[in-house]
Structure 1
Amino acid sequence: MKNLSLFLITSFLFPLEMITVSGSIKDTNDNLIEGVNIYTDRTGISTNKKGSFSLKCFPDEVVTFSHVSYSDITLLAKDVPKNITMKLRNINADEIIVRGGSFDLSIKETNNSLMVIQNEDIESGVYQHFDDVINLTPNLNSSGGTSRSRYFQIRGIGELSQFSGEGAPHFYVGYIMDDIDFSGIGMVGLLNDIDQIEVFKGPQSSIYGPNAMAGMINISSNDPTPHREGKITINAGDYNYNAISGYYSSSLRYNLFHRLSFNINKSDGFRKNNYLDISNSNKIDESMLRYKLLYSPNNKINFKLTYYLIDINNGYDIWSPDNNGYTTFSDYLGKDTHKSNAFSFKSNFRFRDNLKLTSITSLSSNNIDYNYDSDWANDDFWKDNYDWFPESNSYDFSDPILFPWGYYPYSFTDETSRKRDNVSQELRITSKNTIGGLYISRTKEDDLRKGYLMGGNVDSLASYFEILSMSFYASTKWDISDKLSLITRLRAENNNIKSDVDTRAYGFEAGSFNEETNSILWGGRISMSRLIDDYSNFGFSISKGYKSHGFNQSINIGSTAYQLPEDLRTYESEDVYNIELSYNYNDKTKFFTINSFYMHRINPQLRLSYQLDPSNPSSFDFYTVNAEEGYSYGLEGQFKAMISDKLYIYDNFAILKSHISTFDFLSNSVGNRTEAHAPEFSASGGFEYKMGSGIYINVDHSVMFDFYHEDQYESKTDPYQILNTTIGWKNDKIQLNLWAKNLLDVKYEVRGYNFALEPSPNEPPHFFSNTYISYGDPRHFGLSASYNF
């Protein structure tokens, strides 16, 4: 501590001597380039009309030369030449730095199965939310059931929902934005002013610990810049869609910079409620404000503060008894809202011999309301279509056996209020090839759910979870030779879970319990990378991931009436072992990678929904069980190529085979088949063609094969394909896009349930089972206009 204090004091009092770097910048045709941004972590300028610049900085500072049309150049200040030549942007995997791993490496060096989506990949106007890029990422899927995607599956592994009663708030797929954990809340993914999105596939527990057994989604926004820059974008489209977003970055004073980003997004939401005669019952109403502050007193120290203010007030009205897709009949307006205040604070201190100390503190406070009409219709609908009313000719409501309570209005609601607070602290020491760290996190979640719950046995469920996790981790990179390297990672975690549950039945206490358990978990990874030549390398890795245990909250567990034994109260931790082989090729105009994998799961956790009473459509309950084992294996590939200065193409694909062993479900033996939400083939591809005079066309196409809706039922989706297009024009300041999502207007399934909902006098006990579907959004047109300054 004494040495650190002395270092900080001397850094401020005796700064290094500065030098002046100056010169001019041209393109490969010897044309002078105006407006090139030249900056360090402390300061920055832009070239004038003659392409000239002059900048004072420290000799060992990193200087970046950046322009929207050219590839960035990064040099130490002392090495900056008088004449610099910039090249038009091409494909260069070495320039894509993966920030979510233990070491900052180029995508070619990571030896990790991942897909990186950069800012320039999502500028066409089609991609406004993370939902819009899911289909671009093979082996990444999401389950519907919310207004925006919250629950993700990678390689067929991941939660499909998180209803109160399904267990603790821990997840297979993590979701991180600027070092803030939003796992299980993923609908916050508005994509304004994003640097890049990294989708890690396979176990990431050795890096991220909890919430990363199947993979990780890491979203990084752009950092403040020393030079002034900004952008404003306006969007408009059908379904009353309108949005405005923008950012502004500049220097507040010498070595203190800030960046403000905002996004407001509104739409009617693609559904028409016939009963209420409104077209916005499924509305989108989202806003997000992000502020970043970067302070860098010298090239050895920097501090970065990131703050998020999120306000999402979406409607939720997507289900209908007749499965028609886009017309609803609800008499109760559902909603899916999320309000969040969150921040992260990251500090870096650099010492001699490549030694660096990093501290990352994050905190988020989230309030979520999720309400819906659980019968999906209204009294008139049930009367006119199913003869369900007091004077019915089809049902004898006076029969004390079939209808012991007589006639009842077929009208139910389900309301959940959730408050989740998360705080975490990470300390990391890094040398050239070694990392060691400590990670501590605490998650508190309060849920209050009201409705016809647990088979109608309760109408209120109040649950509380507190999860305390403490981890130690270490990673070492071994350069065995000039061409062969090895990276080892190990993480040990102590995981403590407390749970309190209180249920009430129509004013009376129905049951309560509390649990506390503690477990030691570990994950690790060994990866090898072998350079074949200047353009290609081969990789091999073995990894282990984990997911913590938990509790089921239903009071029906232990009840002989429902054949739910007491041993279902808890479920075990899950482990996964993963082996991967990869090959990468990159020659500046082409990038190709192919990856094969095999994952073996021990004690897979399955979240199941079930209908306790087939004569009662709202008698739903939930619990999580362990199967004995499961596995998945397959191939994943990515290809990008700059065919010419005008034509860029890409293609991504995934082949997936998965299996879950037999498990017990309501005294029945099910399973022994493919996992839910695990399509055997998914792919995306497209191109961008520059037609000249700033005009371009962008087309992307995605394909997904069929998959099971849930692990315990046999219903499946249909295969589908989605086509998106953009025609645009841009120069250095202005960009205009005419875009279309789902151009072919494909009606595709995103979520399915199996249960008895619709009354039928010919189907004792007067309801028949069916598969009910919610669908993705129909064809959607829009226009966006952006101005850079």
Structure 2
Amino acid sequence: MKTLCKSLLALSISASAFANTQIETVVVTSDFREANLQQAPVSASVFSAELIAQRHAQHLEQLLAMAPNVNFASGSSRARYFQIRGIGERSQFIEPINPSVGVIIDDVDFTGIGTVGTMFDVEQVEILRGPQGTRYGANALAGMIAIQSQAPSETLNGYIEATVAEYDSYSVGAAVGGPISDELLYRVAVQQHESDGYMDNVFLNKEDSNNFDELTARAKLRWIASDDLSIDMSVFKADIDNGYDAFTFDNSRNSIADQPGHDKQDTNAFAIKADWVISSALKSEIIASYSSSDIEYGYDEDWSYVGLCAGAPCDGWEYSSFDNYLRERETGTVELRLLSGETGKIFNNSTEWLLGFYLRDQSEELEREYTYLSSNFTSDFDTTNQAIFAETATALTQKLTLTVGLRVEDWQAQYDDANALDIESDETLYGGRLVLDYAYNDDAMIYASIARGYKAGGVNTDGTLTAKDRDFETEYQWAYELGAKHSLLDNRLQTRLALFYTQRKDQQVKASFSAPRNDGSTTFTDFIANAGQGKNYGLELEAIYQVTQQLQVAAALGWLETKIEDDALSVSGRDQAHAPNYQYSVAMQYDISDAWSVRLEAEGKDGYYFSDSHDSRADKQDLINAKVSYAIDSWSLSLWGRNLTDEDYAVRGFGGFGNNPQNFYESETYTQLGEPRIYGVSASYKF
């Protein structure tokens, strides 16, 4: 260890020999206007295609540990729901649910179904922390995740990539793009990923009951109609047929389920975007998208097999049931923006402006097949969002800018189900932001912001709930943020710091109560309730340092404090769920020579509560990842490993109930385990 420290110190001292080695500029594209990450007055993390490749991330969930104060909940084969600064949903069974974190993939809204967040041929992932009350509205109370795949290019290029790893894992993908003509550019990418998964079903003698089977295909076309008009079209296909056999009585990787579950999603999506420079004073953007998804999610509720208790003291106590949810979801969006051009600024040429209109229409049909239902449960949940928004950015001085944004949104929802419940709601929601940023030189800026976010209220549909628990109110959030960004040492060191304080009013919390069945097992009723208020505050720090031409070090730290404040709730005064008090990541990339490189990563997070309705917790986790690469000409080969210490850690958990008849359903904590130690080899050829 001492030798390693001395070597790193020596490399740092020699940094002056590489004074021209600078960090590449990163551009944030998910806000209304593109901006240099170091100059954007917002707490954001951006992951490039290079970083995705360095981590060999197959899915978004394998990147999030690099972003401070960002967490996810599994409870299915992949991370489907996300939490930013401790705010976000953790699961979904019956309707309705309004997510807190928006997920956009190539301008298509996939909020609430993050299973499709595969990473092949992705150019950039952006995470905006804090309410996006102007940019996105009702489904971005906590923030937004935007995934942008590689765009068509003017020169022919592409690559072929293959990976083989433990647990019979492999992936094969290819991407190619270039010009069809001077006006038409294209890109096509396809990948198939398969793995047995990390569970063994010892009852069925199967190693793939929790498998991954994921096909992703993308096609993009860019039409450069003129110097002033370009149109981008994209088509997306995801065919996911994963297993779901994740929970056991002893929280091990050895399942005894006789009906392993599944997690399937078949998605087809389309988007079109037109950028038109009408004049030097005015530009317009039109974005339209449509997606259709068939989703099926089912699991063996008893986690065991019929006959488990035969001849044992628990004989007669066991139960057997399967719960299956089939959804058909269609989402269409249209967004129109008018933006000022260089000569279109107002107020004595000091103020850029933007006006916009947004429409989103979504329908979701659910059919639930459940052992304990006399007939299948069905429901329809339709929502329509209509919003107008505006934003101005005024240069008060050459260095001081004031940004003011406002969004007014009409949220309409209609729900009906097989239990003759028919509910309509219509409410007007308001959000926005006020930002003051000061660039005191070309390499440093500070900012202060106030933002208001919102998430619509709704109705709990379970008929066993009391009248007071049947509906829940809209949640509003005021977020206050101070930030500073610096580029130092001739742009070889970049730092980003944000301090935030969030006040949540009518905080929506996921709650549940349990009741025993006649056979001794437990039935659960989930519902959403409003806590009086909640507080979330903390900091995010990110830094990247190009120590020498060969060595780069990156680090991220998140600190988070959260509280639920409502004397009517048993968890009042406690931390909010899925909100670890700290998260960190450190990565070192060292180029040994022109061909050889090595990467070492450490990441971790504090323990956290699984739910707002019980006190079961995840343990803290600390993971080590590493990679050795060899690249020559257009070929590259890498050996990589994740979770090198083979630490067991939870990605979802439940508590406050018993599911094991062998101990007569004694209350326990049950966890779904994350990825164990895994080694792999990847090869690629680029042209």
In the alignment, the residues of structure 2 paired with residue 771 and residue 149 of structure 1 have an alpha-carbon distance, to the nearest angstrom, of 20
Render the CA deviation track for 1:639-674: whole Å, top value 9, x for unaligned: 001000100001000110000112646xxx433211
3-state SS, counterpart of residue 685 of structure 1: strand
In the alignment, the residues of structure 2 paired with residue 114 and residue 333 of structure 1 have an alpha-carbon distance, to the nearest angstrom, of 39
3-state SS, counterpart of residue 33 of structure 2: coil
Q: Which residue is equivalent to 2:286? A: 359
Q: Which residue is equivalent to 1:779? A: 677
Shift of 1:501: 1.5
Query: 1:148 aligned to 2:64?
Result: no
Letter in 1 for 2:50: E
Q: Which residue is equivalent to 1:709? A: 610
Render the CA deviation track for 1:667-716: whole Å, top value 9, x for unaligned: xx433211001000101111100001310001111110010111111111
Q: Which residue is equivalent to 2:508? A: 605
3-state SS, counterpart of residue 123 of structure 1: helix
Letter in 1 for 2:436: M
Q: Which residue is equivalent to 2:455? A: 547
**Shift in CA distance, 151/459, structure 1 to aligned 2, threshold 3 Å:** farther
Task: Give the alignment partner of residue 223 of structure 1, picking from 151, 155, 172.
Answer: 151
Letter in 2 for 1:338: Q
Letter in 2 for 1:447: L
Q: Structure 1: which 5+ residue stretches go unaligned? A: 1-86, 390-406, 503-510, 558-564
Shift of 1:250: 1.4
Give matches, 1:85-96, under 5 Å: 90-92=22-24, 95-96=25-26
Q: Any conservation in 2 of the 1:102–1:475 contact (CA below 8 Å)? A: no
Q: Which residue is equivalent to 2:15? A: none
Query: 1:199 aligned to 2:127?
Result: yes
Give matches, 1:751-762, under 5 Å: 751-754=652-655, 755-759=657-661
3-state SS, counterpart of residue 205 of structure 1: coil
Q: Which residue is equivalent to 1:479? A: 395
Query: 1:637 aligned to 2:541?
Result: yes
**Shift in CA distance, 444/678, structure 1 to aligned 2, threshold 3 Å:** same
Task: Give the alignment partner of residue 190 of structure 1, picking from 90, 110, 118.
Answer: 118
Task: Give the alignment partner of residue 382 of structure 1, picking from 309, 316, 319.
Answer: 309
Render the CA deviation track for 1:467-524: whole Å, top value 9, x for unaligned: 000000001111111111111110000000000011xxxxxxxx32100010000101
Q: Any conservation in 2 of the 1:475–1:488 contact (CA below 8 Å)? A: yes
3-state SS, counterpart of residue 612 of structure 1: strand
Q: Which residue is equivalent to 1:53? A: none
Give matches, 1:5-20, under 5 Å: none
Comparing 539-548 with 168-177, greater Cα deviation is found at: 168-177
Letter in 1 for 2:236: Y
Q: Which residue is equivalent to 2:328? A: 419
In the alignment, the residues of structure 2 paired with residue 769 and residue 512 of structure 1 have an alpha-carbon distance, to the nearest angstrom, of 35
**Shift in CA distance, 262/670, structure 1 to aligned 2, threshold 3 Å:** same
In the alignment, the residues of structure 2 paired with residue 300 and residue 220 of structure 1 have an alpha-carbon distance, to the nearest angstrom, of 23
Shift of 1:731: 3.2
Render the CA deviation track for 1:130-175: whole Å, top value 9, x for unaligned: 11101111211111211000011111110010111xx424200111
Give matches, 1:296-445, under 5 Å: 296-324=224-252, 326-383=253-310, 387-389=313-315, 407=316, 410-432=319-341, 433-445=352-364
In the alignment, the residues of structure 1 paired with residue 225 and residue 168 of structure 2 have an alpha-carbon distance, to the nearest angstrom, of 48
Q: Any conservation in 2 of the 1:227–1:250 contact (CA below 8 Å)? A: yes
In the alignment, the residues of structure 2 paired with residue 336 and residue 233 of structure 1 have an alpha-carbon distance, to the nearest angstrom, of 26
In the alignment, the residues of structure 2 paired with residue 448 and residue 163 of structure 1 have an alpha-carbon distance, to the nearest angstrom, of 11
Shift of 1:457: 6.6
Q: Any conservation in 2 of the 1:671–1:711 contact (CA below 8 Å)? A: no
Shift of 1:459: 5.3
Q: Which residue is equivalent to 1:64? A: none
In the alignment, the residues of structure 1 paired with residue 217 and residue 432 of structure 2 have an alpha-carbon distance, to the nearest angstrom, of 37
Q: Which residue is equivalent to 1:719? A: 620
Shift of 1:750: 1.4
Shift of 1:195: 1.3
In the alignment, the residues of structure 2 paired with residue 263 and residue 598 of structure 1 have an alpha-carbon distance, to the nearest angstrom, of 42
**Shift in CA distance, 628/493, structure 1 to aligned 2, threshold 3 Å:** same
Task: Give the alignment partner of residue 594 of structure 2, picking from 687, 693, 712.
Answer: 693
Shift of 1:534: 2.2
Query: 1:622 aligned to 2:531?
Result: no
3-state SS, counterpart of residue 528 of structure 2: strand
Give matches, 1:115-194, under 5 Å: 115-124=45-54, 126-164=56-94, 167-194=95-122
Task: Give the alignment partner of residue 566 of structure 1, picking from 467, 476, 483.
Answer: 467
Task: Give the alignment partner of residue 451 of structure 1, picking from 322, 346, 370.
Answer: 370
3-state SS, counterpart of residue 608 of structure 2: coil
In the alignment, the residues of structure 2 paired with residue 316 and residue 605 of structure 1 have an alpha-carbon distance, to the nearest angstrom, of 28
Q: Any conservation in 2 of the 1:109–1:529 contact (CA below 8 Å)? A: no
3-state SS, counterpart of residue 270 of structure 1: coil
3-state SS, counterpart of residue 711 of structure 1: coil
Q: Any conservation in 1 of the 2:138–2:453 contact (CA below 8 Å)? A: no
Q: Which residue is equivalent to 1:109? A: 39
In the alignment, the residues of structure 2 paired with residue 89 and residue 328 of structure 1 have an alpha-carbon distance, to the nearest angstrom, of 52
In the alignment, the residues of structure 2 paired with residue 492 and residue 731 of structure 1 have an alpha-carbon distance, to the nearest angstrom, of 54
3-state SS, counterpart of residue 178 of structure 2: strand
Q: Which residue is equivalent to 2:666? A: 768
Runs of 4+ residues deviating >4 angstroms: 456-459
3-state SS, counterpart of residue 618 of structure 2: coil
In the alignment, the residues of structure 2 paired with residue 663 and residue 253 of structure 1 have an alpha-carbon distance, to the nearest angstrom, of 67
Q: Which residue is equivalent to 1:527? A: 435
In the alignment, the residues of structure 2 paired with residue 457 and residue 252 of structure 1 have an alpha-carbon distance, to the nearest angstrom, of 56
- TM-score with structure 1 setting the length: 0.81
Letter in 1 for 2:548: S
3-state SS, counterpart of residue 120 of structure 2: coil
Q: Any conservation in 2 of the 1:360–1:426 contact (CA below 8 Å)? A: yes
Q: Which residue is equivalent to 2:3? A: none
- TM-score with structure 2 setting the length: 0.93
In the alignment, the residues of structure 2 paired with residue 108 and residue 244 of structure 1 have an alpha-carbon distance, to the nearest angstrom, of 36
In the alignment, the residues of structure 2 paired with residue 718 and residue 693 of structure 1 have an alpha-carbon distance, to the nearest angstrom, of 41
In the alignment, the residues of structure 2 paired with residue 313 and residue 445 of structure 1 have an alpha-carbon distance, to the nearest angstrom, of 20
Q: Any conservation in 2 of the 1:126–1:724 contact (CA below 8 Å)? A: no
In the alignment, the residues of structure 1 paired with residue 439 and residue 55 of structure 2 have an alpha-carbon distance, to the nearest angstrom, of 38
Shift of 1:304: 0.4
3-state SS, counterpart of residue 121 of structure 1: helix
Letter in 2 for 1:361: A
Q: Any conservation in 2 of the 1:197–1:217 contact (CA below 8 Å)? A: yes
Q: Which residue is equivalent to 1:589? A: 492
Letter in 2 for 1:465: F
Letter in 1 for 2:673: Y
**Aligned residues: percent identity?**
30
3-state SS, counterpart of residue 245 of structure 2: coil
Query: 1:244 aligned to 2:172?
Result: yes
3-state SS, counterpart of residue 309 of structure 2: helix
Aligned residues: 655
Query: 1:652 aligned to 2:652?
Result: no
Shift of 1:211: 1.0
In the alignment, the residues of structure 2 paired with residue 358 and residue 492 of structure 1 have an alpha-carbon distance, to the nearest angstrom, of 20
In the alignment, the residues of structure 1 paired with residue 375 and residue 622 of structure 2 have an alpha-carbon distance, to the nearest angstrom, of 42
In the alignment, the residues of structure 1 paired with residue 522 and residue 21 of structure 2 have an alpha-carbon distance, to the nearest angstrom, of 57
Q: Any conservation in 2 of the 1:190–1:263 contact (CA below 8 Å)? A: no
Shift of 1:110: 1.3
Task: Give the alignment partner of residue 182 of structure 2, picking from 250, 254, 261.
Answer: 254
Q: Any conservation in 2 of the 1:614–1:767 contact (CA below 8 Å)? A: no
In the alignment, the residues of structure 1 paired with residue 387 and residue 594 of structure 2 have an alpha-carbon distance, to the nearest angstrom, of 55
Q: Any conservation in 2 of the 1:126–1:726 contact (CA below 8 Å)? A: no
Letter in 1 for 2:240: I
**Shift in CA distance, 458/538, structure 1 to aligned 2, threshold 3 Å:** farther
